[in-house]
Amino acid sequence: MDKKITVVGAGNVGATVAQRIIEKELADVVLIDIIEGVPQGKALDLKEAAPVEKHDADIIGANTYEASANSDIVIITAGIPRKPGMSRDDLISTNAGIMKNVTQQIAKFSPNTILIIVSNPLDAMCHVAYEASGFPGNRVIGMAGVLDSARFRAFIAMELNVSVENTHAFVLGGHGDTMVPLPRYSTVAGIPITELMSEDRINALVTRTANGGAEIVSLLKTGSAYYAPSSAAVEMAEAILKDKKKILPCAAYLDGEYGFKDLFIGVPVKLGKNGVEEIIQINLTESEKAALQKSANSVQDLKNILKKLAA
């Protein structure tokens, strides 16, 4: 392939991201993990599946960063996942250290790359990567909104017994309990769901979406979701690699947009070859604005914790 994506973290999310990328022949993949043998073993296993899956993308595993040099995109999934009873925020001290170290290595070998951050707590990890890389804000993007919107879409399709392909949804804000699903902008074949479902049912789906990650954690017991998170990260990577100018909800660096400054939070962005090419500012009602503000406050709280950890 003429494109290269490095995936850091060869656990559940990282290995599934790698699999999806090569099976779509989007790019060659370098899979990096701190555990010796794991990225090499998973890469070889995936390489041996290629003849049956009928693709020619290359994949190698590594424990150091030399092989990642000059990647077009780097997807960072390194870190610990949640266990039942934990919130994403409980991961902050461990994952901040991992994110800083990984990002510095990546920036050294791929100074022009675009980072897609997946590790949690997502918005705070974007900040760590932004500061550790020194990259401009358009080249550090967090994966959250595509996943949260996909969950909302899945629930809408299940509720109305329609194809998921007919659904469209927007979830903004931080990737946590304060996320802001926007029913007004969520549609089935172009029809707002506010015209198709009662307020009670919409509220039930909104609540299920906000707790979507925790629902999976409580079922799996030993880790967190990875099929839908990997699909979401790969949709973002594909939009960038193919310069699709696709509008997707992502955690983006805001510099005054929506009234927030120096903050990563989920908003609709246009993704193309330069990463975030535009932050789309949609009109929000007073209550939607208040919900976004509340979500931004909780991201700001995590930023303050990061400052304390760094001190």
**Which residues are at the interface with ligand APR (CB under 6 A)?**
8-14, 32-35, 77-79, 81-82, 91, 95, 98, 101-102, 118-120, 223-224, 226, 229
Residue matched to tokens 């995109």: 73
CB of 77 to ligand APR, least distance (A): 5
The C-alpha angle with vertex 15 and arms to 37 and 153, in degrees rounded to 5, equals 165
Given the complex with ligand APR, which of 154 and 202 has the nearer CB atom?
Answer: 154
Given the complex with ligand APR, which of 152 and 185 has the nearer CB atom?
Answer: 152
208-245 burial by CB neighbour count: b if 16+ within 10 A, else e?
bbbebbbebbeebeeebbbebbbebbbbbbbbbbeeee
User: Tokens in use for 271?
Assistant: 């993704």
Q: How far apart are CA 202 and CA 192, in angstroms?
A: 11
Q: How far apart are CA 145 and CA 202, in angstroms?
A: 18
Given the complex with ligand APR, which of 154 and 193 has the nearer CB atom?
Answer: 154
- E strand intervals along the chain: 4-8, 28-32, 59-62, 73-76, 114-117, 140-142, 167-168, 171-172, 180-181, 187-188, 191-192, 246-255, 261-272, 275-279
Strands of the 167-168 sheet, one edge to the other: 167-168, 187-188, 191-192
CB of 274 to ligand APR, least distance (A): 25
Told to judge if 55 belongs to the known catalytic residues of this protein, a careful annotator would answer no
CB of 299 to ligand APR, least distance (A): 16
Given the complex with ligand APR, which of 98 and 114 has the nearer CB atom?
Answer: 98
Query: At 302, which amino acid appears?
Result: L
Q: Which residue is at the shortest CB distance from ligand APR?
A: 11
CB 241 within 8 A of CB 3: yes
CB of 79 to ligand APR, least distance (A): 4
CB of 203 to ligand APR, least distance (A): 26
What are the catalytic residues?
175
